Amino acid sequence: MKRIAMLAGFATLTAAAGCGSSPTTPTNQPTVYTVQLSAANEVPPITNEESSARGTAVITIRPERDGSGTVTGGTIDFNVSLNGMQSTTVLTAAHIHPGAAGVNGGVLVGTGLTSQDNVPITNGNATFSKLNVAAAGQNGQTTAAQNIQAILANPSGYYFNVHTARNGGGVMRGQLQ
């Protein structure tokens, strides 16, 4: 009987001290996706002189959450390394789109990359970064909170692709993983 009373007392002290309890503050920790890009993943696959285009995009989603953990906004960082590019290639855009592998979708979140960025291509390689990008949809169709929540809930339902002057619909793409 004494042993049960001691265990009950210990449990009460542990609970009162907060040991083993879960935090009540929401986490705003970033989520990182590494996306393998390939011209063969585009729909339809790229078959012209830019068909050797490959790359990796590291996409970091930085959600903002309220006290209940609900996503209220946030930003996205894009760090992209490309290879197999033609020296004459002009990068014109890069976006996150909704769509499973093999399915095209409209632009959800743009990086802000344009042809005016003049991303240099040296020996077939190029890199660019776009940081703290507002995650709101194109033309205000969706909010940052809606987009980030949707991506976090089902990342494989979204893809990232890079567009060029020659391949305006996209030269390479990969699913968020």
Give pairs for 100-104: CB < 8 Å, separation 24+: 100/156, 100/157, 100/175, 101/41, 101/156, 101/159, 101/175, 102/43, 103/43, 104/43, 104/169
pLDDT score at 3: 47
**pLDDT at residue 59, as a whole number:** 98
Find the mean pLDDT for residues 114-127. Answer: 96
What is this structure's pTM? Answer: 0.83
Candidates 2.60.40, 1.10.150, 2.40.170, 3.40.1130; CATH matching 24-175: 2.60.40
Given a cut of 90, whether residue 80 has pLDDT beyond it is yes
pLDDT category at 42 given cuts 50, 70, 90 is very high
